[in-house]
């Protein structure tokens, strides 16, 4: 089966949109949040898409953004949990499902 023309560009655009919407949602909740630029997603920080800090509850965390939840495979989950443990952060998976849904992957508490 032949793939459609420009499928990779459209998939990348969907991923960027999920990251952007996650940052907006976190900022609306009162958190300081920023998208990690792709040039910073190297080495150990490869699975991290968004970094946030909640000044009210004093929670620091990382977010992995996926358009489809099923694309968050076991290898990537292990790397994500390792980074969260190393920095003492809470880890969330953000995915698109009638808006942005966030699920806890690793909780430091």
Q: 75-101, pLDDT tens digit by residue?
A: 999 999 999 999 999 999 999 988 899
Residue 48 lies in a domain: yes
pLDDT of residue 97: 85
Give the pLDDT confidence of 12-57 residue by residue, as tens digits.
888 888 999 999 999 999 999 999 988 888 999 999 999 999 999 9
CATH code, domain carrying 37: 3.40.1350.10
Residues forming a β-bridge with 104: 92
pLDDT of residue 1: 65
In the chain, the number of structural domains is 1
Ranges assigned E (strand) in the chain: 32-35, 50-54, 59-66, 90-96, 100-106
Pairwise CA distance, residues 83 & 41, whole Å: 12
Phi and psi angles of residue 3, each rounded to the nearest 5 degrees, phi first: -80, 150
For CA atoms 101, 40, 82, 60, the dihedral sign is negative
For CA atoms 34, 93, 11, 20, the dihedral sign is negative
Global pTM reads 0.86
Lowest mean pLDDT among 2-6, 23-27, 44-48, 62-66: 2-6
């Amino acid at each position: 089966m032949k793939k459609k023309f420009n499928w990779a560009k459209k998939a990348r655009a969907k991923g960027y949109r999920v990251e952007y919407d996650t940052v907006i949602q976190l900022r609306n909740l009162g958190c300081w949040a920023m998208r990690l630029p792709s040039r910073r997603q190297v080495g150990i920080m490869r699975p991290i898409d968004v970094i946030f800090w909640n000044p009210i509850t004093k929670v620091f965390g990382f977010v992995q953004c996926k358009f489809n939840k099923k694309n968050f495979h076991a290898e990537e989950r292990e790397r994500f949990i390792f980074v969260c443990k190393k920095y003492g952060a809470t880890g969330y998976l953000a995915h698109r499902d009638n808006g942005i849904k966030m699920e806890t992957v690793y909780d430091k508490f």
